[in-house]
Structure 1
Amino acid sequence: MDKRGLGRGLNALLVGTAAEDVARNVREIRLDSIAPNPMQPRTHFDDGSLSELAQSIREHGVLQPVVVRRLATDRYELIVGERRLRASRLAGRTTIPAVVQECSDRDMLLLALIENIQREDIGPVEQARAYQRMASDFGMTQDEIAKSVGKSRQAVGNAMRLLALPDAILGALEAGRITEGHARLLVPLEPAMQMAALDAFVSRSLSVREAEAVVRNLRRGESGGRGAAPSRLEPADPNLASLEDQLSLTLGTKVKVRSSSDGGGAVTIEFYSPEQLEGIVERILRQP
């Protein structure tokens, strides 16, 4: 399958004329003959949502076929359609309409990811882990991932950077205790500051805007609490601290701004991998 076509999504696979449907061999396949997709990037399925879909299937049937690939005679493996498959079982069906499609392992993962992204209900951590799997298992660059799923390179890079956060923070994000916006604020911080900020976000039920103020205060405290001897570069004043925060959020990494007595100063931008550096440079060059 040509990766360039994947950004258009599943419609390119499933929508067509009646003749095309026949050519693609849409058929009723027994549910017990379909194995789950071992590359399914989604790990959580809401029980309430599945129950609603099951009720719809009882009343109207399965409106869109699942996509499978053949393993052996009368044995198949799911490519996309996990929710429809699960809901069909809940609805008491024994068969489901399916399209039999030739598919490599690489495309199987990509198609499963695209299906979930297009439904816009996959969690940010699951999405980031799926992107990371595409990079580690298949050697794809962020550019290739972005083109395959119809996203910008910046969106893919921002998602993958969430995986640098500690498990406790990722767990809070998955559980819905914080949002992706909260999590992004924590990426540039030192580990101890990340946990302090997380505690404040959750215990005080802060909005993202309120959380930005907490991060600002924590970073000011970090600047003022160091015991190093004074140097020619003075600690950032409140205006520069605000600028640091804006730059950190824009670039997705820790940025330090220091001024000197003669009106000059220095801006330090941290990065932790060559790909992150490329992303930072791209974002800087794109600014008007």
Structure 2
Amino acid sequence: MTVRKGGLGRGLDAMISETAVKPKTAVTKKAAVRTTKVTKKDTEEKVKEEGSVLIVKMTQIEPNRSQPRKQFDEDALLELSESIKQFGVLQPLLVQKKGDYYEIIAGERRWRASKLAGLKEVPVIVKDFSEQETVEISLIENIQRENLNPIEEAAAYKRLMEEFHLKQDVIAERVSKSRTAVTNSMRLLKLDERVQQMLVDEMLTTGHARALLAIENKDEQHAAAVKVFDEKLNVRETEKLVKLLLNPAEPKPEKEKNFAEDLVYEQLEEKIKGIIGSKVAIRRKNRDKGKIEIEYYSQEELERIVELLETVK
């Protein structure tokens, strides 16, 4: 991400690098970072050392219930937990004090993996943030690590707009994305909830989803999404499907039938059949043009019809 002077747009690493030193080489759990152990007795004193790396019991840490990310890949967590068992937690969690516990601002995935690894305590950096800053930092961290699914990311942008009254161009600057990217992301929230879930479950891509947005009827939109998934349509094919659904081809009007005229031609067919002795069909192109088809079923019958026509003068 682009480094800027001030503001959350500097990125998560820039925010904690002033106070936390990352180990340059792999280390064991016993020597991950130079830290201070925190107990209930001296919790309040250590909180005053804002920005320092502390060791805190897992039982004293809680996830941020309003953080943008709602889903965690279990396989990826298991893989991270195995790494933590071997090397420890290499990057401290970013937390803030909330009453008698610490709330995670950034690093919930590391916290979950540490629990799976059986750790009793983890390194943390304590900072004091406003609610808006908390949301922004969580959003930045997840976007930097590409951990958010498209709907989680869109919901986070929406919250920044509605709760904290940030404009889209300001949000775009904070997360180092274009304003168009933020706008397109938020448009996904207009999808039917069933289609949103398909996007979360990776049954559809964001390209498919954006194409389906043109269908306003929710049931029709969902039906189209299911068709896209079942038939494995690509984005271009999905766009064509949507266009066809929105602008169905008008059926060609049937030619107005003239029953009296049809009866005349049927009578003519029967008359020629009576003369030739074989089935005859009159094919009309228009009122004055057409062709006569005579059927035959053997070489002998063909020769008979030819001889009969030769007698006509």
Instruction: Name the counterpart of 2:11.
Output: 9
Instruction: Name the counterpart of 1:150.
Output: 176
Instruction: Please state how far the C-alpha of 1:209 moved relative to its aligned partner.
Output: 2.3
Instruction: Please state how far the C-alpha of 1:138 moved relative to its aligned partner.
Output: 1.2
Instruction: Please state how far the C-alpha of 1:36 moved relative to its aligned partner.
Output: 1.2
Separation (CA, whole Å) in 1 of partners of 2:226 and 2:102? 47
Alignment of 1:85-234 (within 5 A): 85-191=111-217, 193-221=220-248, 224=250
Instruction: Name the counterpart of 2:308.
Output: none
Separation (CA, whole Å) in 1 of partners of 2:21 and 2:223? 61
Separation (CA, whole Å) in 1 of partners of 2:185 and 2:236? 20
Instruction: Please state how far the C-alpha of 1:220 moved relative to its aligned partner.
Output: 2.8
**Residue deviations 1:95-144, cap 9 Å, x none?**
11110101111101110111111111310011111111111111111112
Separation (CA, whole Å) in 2 of partners of 1:188 and 1:8? 36
**Residue deviations 1:28-53, cap 9 Å, x none?**
11111012112211111011000000
Counterpart AA for 2:16:
L
User: Normalization by structure 1: what TM-score?
Assistant: 0.71
CA contact (8 A) 1:6 1:150 kept: no
Separation (CA, whole Å) in 2 of partners of 1:58 and 1:48? 15
Length, aligned pairs only:
222
**Residue deviations 1:182-234, cap 9 Å, x none?**
0000112231542342132012011212212222322331x748xxxxxxxxx
Counterpart AA for 2:175:
V
Percent sequence identity is 43
More helix by share: 1
Counterpart AA for 2:230:
S
Secondary structure of residue in 2 paired with 1:29:
strand
Q: Taking structure 1 as reference, are residues 3 and 15 closer, same or farther at Cα in structure 2, changes over 3 Å only?
A: closer
Q: Which runs of 5+ in 2 are unaligned?
A: 23-33, 36-48, 252-313
Instruction: Name the counterpart of 1:80.
Output: 106
Alignment of 1:240-279 (within 5 A): none
Q: Which runs of 5+ in 1 are unaligned?
A: 226-288
Instruction: Name the counterpart of 2:71.
Output: 44
CA contact (8 A) 2:105 2:137 kept: yes
User: Normalization by structure 2: what TM-score?
Assistant: 0.66
Instruction: Name the counterpart of 1:65.
Output: 92
Counterpart AA for 1:126:
E
CA RMSD of aligned residues (A): 2.4
Query: Which among 33, 48, 53 is matched to residue 60 of structure 2?
Result: 33
Secondary structure of residue in 2 paired with 1:56:
helix
CA contact (8 A) 1:39 1:112 kept: no
Counterpart AA for 2:160:
M
Secondary structure of residue in 2 paired with 1:7:
helix
Q: Which has the higher contact order (CA 8 A, sep 6+)?
A: 1
Instruction: Name the counterpart of 1:242.
Output: none
Separation (CA, whole Å) in 2 of partners of 1:107 and 1:3? 16
Separation (CA, whole Å) in 2 of partners of 1:4 and 1:181? 34
Secondary structure of residue in 2 paired with 1:11:
helix
Larger radius of gyration: 2
CA contact (8 A) 2:20 2:125 kept: no
Secondary structure of residue in 2 paired with 1:44:
coil
Q: Taking structure 1 as reference, are residues 19 and 88 closer, same or farther at Cα in structure 2, changes over 3 Å only?
A: closer
The worse-fitting range, judged by mean Cα deviation, of 203-212 and 126-135 is: 203-212
Counterpart AA for 1:127:
E
Separation (CA, whole Å) in 1 of partners of 2:160 and 2:5? 13
